Amino acid sequence: MNMNRSSLFTLLIPVLILLMSSVGRLKAQDPVFSQFYASPLHLNPAFAGTTHAPKVTFTYRNQWSSIFNAYVTYGASFDKYFGKARSGVGITALVDQAGDGIYNTSRFNASYAYQLPLGESFYLKGGVQAGIYQVSLDWDRLVFLDQLDPIEGPIGVTEETRPAQLSKTYFDVSAGFLVYGEIFYAGLATHHINTPDESLLLSNDALVDGLPMRFDLHAGAQISLNRGNNPKMRSFISPNILYSQQRNFRQINAGAQLGLGPIFLGTWYRYAFSNADAAIFSVGVKQGIFKIGYSYDLTVSGLSSESNGSHEIGLILNFDEGRKKRIDYNDCFELFR
């Protein structure tokens, strides 16, 4: 077969993933959901316990779907608030598959958050998170440069050295805090505080200094447009901004979501400093305990012609909504419930 630019790029994706994820100072970046508000425990452990009854979330993201299923991520969480103890607890699970499942990361975390009143309708929450991560590599599916033929495509057997280990498990710690009131909030989270070594190829090498810490600084507000007497028909607009940094990688997500009764619409923009990244459009509906949203990342970077954008689905089950007497929260976290 004749190899064009697109097919060659597709074949090289696994090699790039291996290099970014396993060698020296080049490290893979954590996935950051476009609908970060639909999976708040993945953003900041201080979000544990934003509902009195249990809350369950599920998130699916397919990034650059036309490029060898480059990145597919599945996330789930459970959390609940205990009023007498002023505490929230939660658990999260996340599976990130890179290169059509050639390089996989699985994460399981437990979170705890404590709420401290700072005044009337103003609070501070601090949270910690700890868990187990596992990375694994399907070496036999990799295609290296010495296997590529410009006419025939991938042929032969690579002379690259097979790693001694193809999976690794390590312990990870994160922490964060939130300050919030009726209208606005701000928070900061630090992930991978212990900078664990996730490398498969260069263990005990001086170049390996561990998984870089990730910092998430985020803030937002909730502006009511129509409170009314019917809670199901309340309308609001919620502008938000998220700054995320992991080593030299930085990005900003900024935008707003408009809630119109059971319907919500959102527009966001993601900027990666070195380049413009994507415009994000979201739509969803909330009915009873269910809240489901879909978002599409319209790639505006140099990958726009290759990537086919990114698709994401977020589902929240808020069992507070199923109670006979609906809880009227005195805070600005409607976006996250």
User: Which letter does DSSP use for residue 162 in this model?
Assistant: P
**CA 127 vs CA 11, 43, 58, 314, 333: distances in Å:** 42, 11, 21, 23, 16
Spatial separation of the C-alpha atoms in residues 272 and 243, rounded to whole Å: 10
Lowest mean pLDDT among 235-239, 256-260, 284-288, 318-322: 318-322
Per-residue tokens: 28: 């893979």
Contact 260, 289 (CB under 8 A): no
Nearest to 73 by CA among 264, 310, 327: 310
Question: Over 60: is that where the pLDDT of 6 sits?
Answer: no
**Percent of the chain scored above 70 by pLDDT?**
81
Spatial separation of the C-alpha atoms in residues 30 and 38, rounded to whole Å: 17
**CA 201 vs CA 26, 175, 197: distances in Å:** 12, 29, 11
> Looking at residues 121-125, what average pLDDT do you find?
94
Q: Which residue has the higher pLDDT, 145 or 60?
A: 60
**CA 118 vs CA 85, 122, 179: distances in Å:** 16, 6, 9
Q: Which residue has the higher pLDDT, 118 or 9?
A: 118
Could you tell me the domains of the chain?
5-245+287-294+306-336 (2.40.160)
Q: What pLDDT sits at residue 31?
A: 85
Spatial separation of the C-alpha atoms in residues 298 and 307, rounded to whole Å: 9
The pTM (predicted TM-score) of the whole model is: 0.84
Contact 266, 279 (CB under 8 A): no
At 173, which amino acid appears? Answer: V
Question: Over 70: is that where the pLDDT of 26 sits?
Answer: no
Spatial separation of the C-alpha atoms in residues 149 and 155, rounded to whole Å: 7
Q: Which residue has the higher pLDDT, 225 or 132?
A: 132
> Looking at residues 88-95, what average pLDDT do you find?
98
Q: How high does pLDDT run on average in the chain?
A: 85
User: Which letter does DSSP use for residue 307 in this model?
Assistant: H
Q: What is the pLDDT of residues 37-68, one digit of tens each?
A: 999 999 999 999 999 999 999 999 998 776 66
Question: Over 90: is that where the pLDDT of 16 sits?
Answer: no
Q: What is the pLDDT of residues 159-177, one digit of tens each?
A: 788 888 899 999 999 999 9
Q: What is the pLDDT of residues 281-320, one digit of tens each?
A: 999 999 999 999 999 999 887 665 566 789 999 999 999 8
> Looking at residues 128-143, what average pLDDT do you find?
90
